[in-house]
Structure 1
């Protein structure tokens, strides 16, 4: 593999990792606002949402997933599962945006967060997500090299520590949210 192709693949991984890390961290900082943002998409009936709290579950599952994907893309650990997860997330986000645009609801914010910002819904975001999906697919079907030795124990330990910290933050946020619902 030529050095140019190697550099392009590392750039794509770094680019995608920054996007997913910044989006996840932004949502981590304001999880209840992100939950309200998910509700604003109106993808499930209100009664169903009220009974099962799907927006709450989605809000508290998406940011650790985005941060985890970003870390995996950056370090090269669990690279293929992370690329598949990123691809699925981009498809789900695109479907949610397309549903709202087809309903004529372009007045709500995309709530993409991070370096992607929070613009009003538009077909441009679908095109952007398609481009990001192409980047994921190129990395999936291209020659994948993490640049790290698999025997290196430091990266998996950092990843494990990050997951534990995110789990503790998630637990704290869930506890606070449920106490808020009880009051």
Structure 2
């Protein structure tokens, strides 16, 4: 169970690192997306966008190092539920054309209920991970008195690589699906033109 929990924490850490770095590089665009949600006043939306990016980067580093792991997972859970709520509010308002602002390996998509489900599922996983104690690959264990050799092993490297490969596979699958969807839309458009003309 510890290996699965460690793997899950690393995957979530990598997701948030990718998203945080992407949003940091495009901070103005990210701020614009947060403003487009029209939930917070402009000034608060601008502050939230910056704080959001820094929290994404902070929790990713903490999760990848295994430092203050439970607190980092708690923050991740809250952030994911906030994102799901913001998307839901705009979906109920009929505002689906907005970019989700996810970035990184999660990609940028128009708002949809599937994004709400994805964020809620990730929040559930993150919340569950809080309950599973992990010492494998965690600096928390070293700070608690464990030997480095007990915490770091070839298994830690293997699990990091498996997590990276998992994200790369998911990202590739999402990109291929997007290409297929666009080609399908083009084909339908061309068939419609042929029928009319």
Same fold, TM-score > 0.5, yes or no: yes
Q: Give the secondary-structure state (helix, strand or coil) at the position aligned to 1:143.
A: coil
| In the alignment, structure 1 residue 37 sits paired with structure 2 residue 33 | yes
Kindly indicate whether residue 126 of structure 2 is the aligned counterpart of residue 136 of structure 1: yes
Q: Pairwise mapping of residues 1-183 of structure 1 onto structure 2 (< 5 A)?
A: 5-44=1-40, 48-49=41-42, 53-145=43-135, 147=137, 148=139, 149-150=142-143
Shift of 1:146: 5.0
The size of the alignment, in residue pairs, is 142
Unpaired stretches in structure 1, ≥5 consecutive residues: 153-183
TM-score scaled by length of structure 1: 0.74
Matched residue of 1:92: which SS?
Answer: helix
C-alpha separation between the residues in 1 aligned to 2:125 and 2:135? 15
Higher-Rg structure is 2
Moved segments of 4+, more than 6 Å? none
Listed as ranges, the gaps of 5+ residues in structure 2 are 147-197
State the match for 1:163 in structure 2: none
Partner SS state of residue 130, structure 1: helix
TM-score by length of 2: 0.69
Q: Indicate conservation of the 8 Å contact 2:2/2:132, yes or no.
A: no
